[in-house]
Amino acid sequence: MYKKIITIRAKHGIHTRPAALLVKTAKTFDCDVIVECNGKQASAKSLFKLQTLGLYQGQEVKVSAEGTHAQEAVESVSTLLETLS
């Protein structure tokens, strides 16, 4: 398992459009990608579940993955979470 902790910088947090881009990116990997925030976790491949996490500016988020290309998946999803607006 590979994991990384990042902080969301987007002024308005991760709302529907950026979250959809995140899901699209996560689905390109064969591994399970999990996003965890505020004690809740969700698959990065589910737009609905991501929106239940409340991904707001300044919050720390843990991204983890297990399986084929886990490190690459975590790096890609983490970079998006840090830079999307």
Catalytic residues: 15
Instruction: Return the DSSP state at 1.
Output: -
- DSSP 8-state code for residue 37: E
Backbone angles phi, psi at 36, to 5 degrees: -125, 130
